Structure 1
């Protein structure tokens, strides 16, 4: 059961780049949650998967310093953190990311790309968490990557609106 949870229904077994597959599934699931249920359910789902990830990774790894690439529940948590930023932007304006697909796809796509960049590059706090070499570090590096990706997504959205639309 732990393996099914930590691999997110065995998505983590896909090759190559199981982290990217996990992130792709996460952004699609998160986008669907936000589209059909709203921002607040996405926030609750993010908190729930984060708590589940901390528990399940610790239960599977124990005191091991391994970070098996097949574990992708951390990618789901981090990707959803990144996705919360554009989702909040739409929600605060009374909109959903799924209302008008030709206008809203850049938010989730930017969150996905930015998250993968921070997760692979591992700058600053992301790398520090990754170097913990424990179960908590497995989750924390992706949560930091999600936070930084979310912030960068909002900066990119602001730049887009200023430069191309002359708005804010």
Structure 2
């Protein structure tokens, strides 16, 4: 279980294991996008959610606080949710899977880290749950907020600014 919840030991990296995990998730997400475009990334994201709940639940069974810093599989889920926004946009625009312009994935990464660290509103509420679902839910909400922010930034850049 430790290997799964730490993403192969990435959760042991210091400082900022969540950021290291987000970088690894971003790279893996870009690879998934390249191999199978948005549909593969979306399916992988949906498959990672029950894997996260199951593995974190097993790993933290009997622990008083399951939200341990070495558990970073939740960052993978949140980062992939954020990355789904530009991936879907590029897929819907008909871009080839080997094209994933850097502003989209950089924005998804930066917005996810912002919301995951800042923990506004629903992100913070989920983080305060201190249960297995809360370990995942704060990152799900951070990923959703990051996806929306990425879409808004793209709309601003491409629509209003005409780029």
With the length of structure 1 as denominator, give the TM-score of the two structures.
Answer: 0.92
* Count of equivalent residues: 162
Matched, 1:113 2:110: yes
- What are the Cα deviations for residues 34-65 of structure 1, in whole angstroms up to 9, with x where unaligned? 01222111111001111100110011112532
Alignment of 1:68-147 (within 5 A): 68-96=68-96, 98-99=98-99, 104-147=101-144
Unaligned runs of 5+ in 2: none
Aligned to 1:157: 154
RMSD: 1.3
Q: Would the alpha carbon gap of residues 92 and 31 (structure 1) be closer, same or farther in structure 2, given more than 3 Å must change?
A: same
List, as ranges, runs of 4+ consecutive aligned residues in structure 1 with deviation greater than 3 Å. none
- What are the Cα deviations for residues 63-94 of structure 1, in whole angstroms up to 9, with x where unaligned? 53231111110000000000000100011111
Aligned to 2:14: 15
Unaligned runs of 5+ in 1: none
Alpha-carbon distance between aligned partners in 2 of 1:76 and 1:29, rounded to the nearest angstrom: 9
Alpha-carbon distance between aligned partners in 1 of 2:27 and 2:162, rounded to the nearest angstrom: 27
Question: CA offset at residue 96 of structure 1?
Answer: 4.1
